[in-house]
Structure 1
């Protein structure tokens, strides 16, 4: 460090620690430091929570839900679907392809009814990692061994009071013209077990039956109404599904997870953007206190500045001294906020669990959300970005007071 920079640092530190500084100026200076620290702390904490929700969305919800579907327009279903599955599985971007048949129905037990979305799946094509997240091995084995069995969402089983081993009635509407009324088709199934991942989104609407059974009920001649896909990168599903659907040999309806559950991801991104904007403004407001502090400090140190200039101090020395004085506030506030925010975000899930145990208040209910804990994932890049934003705004806040100090004319000040 050059002699000029060392002198600038010494002057900045002396101006900052000067006993002649008024109490009001000291209060404004401290409030700017606290405001910057608070803004950095809250920004890192909330961004870590958003990262945690995004991670859980990908690792938990999207690990169970198909990333995309191709449903045949023809009531006969997907033609030669086994060959199609083999060809599409060769694509390196595709993790799995499985045949499905879907239908809307009502499930009834002991006078109670609940609407469900029934999906027919084949145990031979079911992805093991996906099934392990949805149900335990005993329930799955019972389902695979019994072609007339059904897996119901945990919420549905609670609502209807159904236990494993009982029979439930599935009611499905029959197609017909407007002039004739057809009663719903009724089929009885053995409940093989419960399936779900937690949360109202899946557990209250999920029902799985065997592919052959579902296709037979709907009269799908080919044996599969459509194909479901899983991709290595689920966020590319809209583009990949469009590409695969346009290249498919027959007319199909194209769908992906962003159409059915995309609001979760969009909500996370919206909150992330709002957090960035709101807390950047909070840090900016705190930095305005640096402007106020330095302006008052310049007015209080006019005589000292004039004496320094008569002793040969250049304008750039005065500018650097006051910029460094304001930057000290930014550095201290940023350091405290970033360190505290990173530590709390690192242990946030454990802290939230301890708070729930201590108070008995549940922050996230597993019956409503797809997770029952407060997730957090600390991103070092976002921590550095937060620190850079705070320090950058702190530097900008020092420019006007510093140049104002450099424009002081010694003759006018000392003459009075």
Structure 2
């Protein structure tokens, strides 16, 4: 029996595995992909000060540290069931079953869909798929593309496509329907983007965002937002145009755009077709938490964290003995926060298994998560701190109820 099984070899999982091994634990890492690194593998962006965050390089560094420690990392392993039997965890993966005293779920995030007529055509893909094709496999998804969905993720990947000499004709909103929700509302999208305006290379966007401090100015801003968009990295970002249909017979040939009102309603007679040979759908990310659901761990839906998240404490413990979580399964944030969470989870696990972990070391690790979050260059949700406070309230309530039962 292992001390610890970690599901997921992304930034949280690898960091946790390294930290746990350094504290003497016998660790097994499982991942369904054929390379370690998770979403790190596709990341490439410029940080403040002109330095670059290269996800492939960061993954390589983590993999090298894992190799030095002799960590057992099994790739190409899909987990389909988890059971808690007595005081151990059974992880069923393909034709094998693994057993451990503790289990860490670091399964990351998945991309949410955006429903658009024509989205089943060859050449339509998630924006994350385009990122992996370009940055990991060095294959261009096409020559000229359109991104549907204006958010932090689509903006960052559009820049990466531009670096790879791929033309992005436009980043536009999706058509309003029951599925797309607030992602198709220009006013709500603009509000969500204001907190990351510091990332924009456009001086117009940076200066304009500083003026939008109240609802009146925000309304004026979206009302007079240029119909043809504001260019960032020479890519038009369109908050007043939506893709109402993807065009093509056997493959993507273009998209139909239409001007929309401030609340996302199509203005009849404004339709126009622009040509492209691929389309990226950017519906945002949500926590990939299905495996946590198999364990019986309590869940809460917290919009500020991206969706349903398993209940957990600041030190990454769940209410179930021996079960821990780290990374985007706990809420959508960046790789650096995930790594801090992975380290904290490993220290909690080591302490619970009887290793000599000082309370001050664990407290410092928890504090590091918070400071890393505060300093993050990219934040996928503007109210992430409020989301974390909500989760802590749920944890405190659960803890209080548990103490009542024990009395």
Flag the structure with more relative contact order, 1 or 2, with Cα contacts below 8 A and sequence separation at least 6. 1
The normalised TM-score by structure 1 is 0.24
The normalised TM-score by structure 2 is 0.24
Greater fraction helix: 1
The structure number with the bigger radius of gyration is 1
Greater fraction strand: 2
